């Protein structure tokens, strides 16, 4: 087994993306174009056996060292591999990290096996729904609260539409998430998200969904990252009216209905916040845990 560390400009992007396309545990966060945006082009990599497996290393330059970190809008990274042979090779990859990466705080993916090199400082959770069944079967797992809220939403004459207008989603976030994100995400992060969503649309790796009310007002919006067998609930927002009308519940139900009986998994992307986690579980979301490593 050959393990090589490569600087960003040494990475063969075509081979890299081909590896992600063919990975057994592929996630869209690991495509080169996605990493370029979320890390501002600052990521190196470890390559195994000529791109049979890859490990992205997003970093920030500090005064005398580099810090590996988890970029915003990127739930999981870690080791991606095209053959089960590499499933247990994460410890070897972590040993191969150059000494210049002194500090590490990185989310692995749900298929990564840490071994004994690093211990996980924490476990984080996401919630999955298997879409390889009928809508009736999916909806039978909704809890009573979701069923009540969905029934209420149906009285408000809501309609779901697909859009390519990134500006509307970003504007809604700025109007209705400003207080919640204060001190957590900057204006630069918002600009990065806008660029990322546009790239998702351009690369045909997802879509934007809106919910309109009877007055033609947009009450909820979400960017769905759709790739590698996943539909990922990447960025969402509801207006105050939308919250009262349960527009997001209406939207999620519509998405599950539209994608039932497909070979896909719906990923809610978390959350560690108890109230949000309960909401996702209310749709029948099953917990999937992944490790966070720190050094």
Instruction: Give dist(CA 175, CA 287) in Å, integer.
Output: 31
* Mean pLDDT over each residue of the chain, to the nearest integer: 93
Q: pLDDT by residue (tens digit) across 7-18?
A: 999 999 999 999
Domains with residue ranges and CATH for the chain: 3-118 (3.40.630), 127-288 (3.40.630.30)
Q: pLDDT by residue (tens digit) across 139-156?
A: 999 999 999 999 999 999
- Which of 75-79, 165-169, 275-279 is least confident? 275-279
Instruction: Give dist(CA 249, CA 173) in Å, integer.
Output: 18
Instruction: Give dist(CA 170, CA 88) in Å, integer.
Output: 40
Q: How confident is the model at residue 6 (pLDDT cuts 50, 70, 90)?
A: very high
- Which of 68-77, 84-93, 117-126, 262-271 is least confident? 117-126
pLDDT of residue 117: 62
Q: pLDDT by residue (tens digit) across 210-241?
A: 999 999 999 999 999 999 999 999 999 999 99
**24: pLDDT strictly greater than 70:** yes
Structural tokens at position 260: 């039932």
Q: How confident is the model at residue 119 (pLDDT cuts 50, 70, 90)?
A: low
The candidate with the shortest Cα–Cα distance to 218, out of 257, 250, 260, is 250
pLDDT of residue 162: 96
**173: pLDDT strictly greater than 70:** yes
Mean pLDDT of 16-36: 98
**178: pLDDT strictly greater than 90:** no
Mean pLDDT of 188-208: 95
Q: How confident is the model at residue 249 (pLDDT cuts 50, 70, 90)?
A: very high
The strand ranges marked E within 131-217 are 159-163, 206-212
Mean pLDDT of 114-140: 88
**DSSP readout, 207-257?**
EEEEEE-TTS-EEEEEEEEEETTEEEEEEEEE-HHHHHHTHHHHHHHHHHH
pLDDT of residue 118: 64
**179: pLDDT strictly greater than 90:** no
Residue 224, beta-bridge partner list: 207, 233
């Amino acid at each position: 087994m050959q393990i090589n560390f490569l600087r960003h400009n040494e990475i063969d992007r075509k081979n890299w993306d081909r590896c992600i396309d063919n990975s057994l545990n592929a996630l869209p966060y690991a495509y080169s174009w996605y990493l370029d945006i979320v890390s501002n082009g600052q990521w190196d990599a470890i390559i195994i056996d000529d791109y049979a497996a890859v490990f992205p290393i997003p970093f920030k330059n500090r005064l005398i060292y580099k810090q590996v970190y988890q970029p915003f809008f990127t739930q999981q990274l870690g080791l991606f591999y095209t053959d089960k042979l590499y499933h247990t090779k994460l410890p070897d990859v972590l040993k191969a990290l150059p000494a210049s990466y002194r500090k590490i705080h990185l989310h692995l993916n749900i298929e990564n096996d840490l071994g004994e090199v690093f211990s996980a400082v924490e476990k984080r959770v996401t919630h999955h729904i298997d879409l390889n069944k009928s809508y009736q079967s999916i909806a039978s797992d909704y809890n009573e609260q979701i069923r009540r809220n969905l029934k209420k939403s149906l009285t408000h004459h809501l309609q779901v539409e697909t859009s390519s207008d990134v500006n509307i989603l970003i504007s809604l976030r700025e109007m209705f998430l400003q207080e919640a994100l204060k001190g957590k995400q900057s204006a630069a992060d918002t600009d990065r998200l806008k660029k990322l969503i546009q790239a998702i649309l351009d690369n045909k790796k997802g879509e934007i969904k809106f919910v309109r009310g009877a007055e033609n007002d947009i009450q909820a919006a979400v960017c769905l990252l759709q790739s590698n067998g996943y539909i990922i609930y990447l960025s969402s927002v509801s207006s105050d009216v939308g919250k009262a009308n349960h527009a997001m519940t209406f939207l999620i139900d519509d998405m599950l209905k539209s994608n039932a009986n497909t070979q896909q998994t719906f990923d809610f992307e978390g959350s560690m916040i108890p109230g949000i986690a309960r909401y996702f579980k209310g749709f029948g979301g099953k917990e999937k845990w992944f490790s966070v490593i720190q050094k």
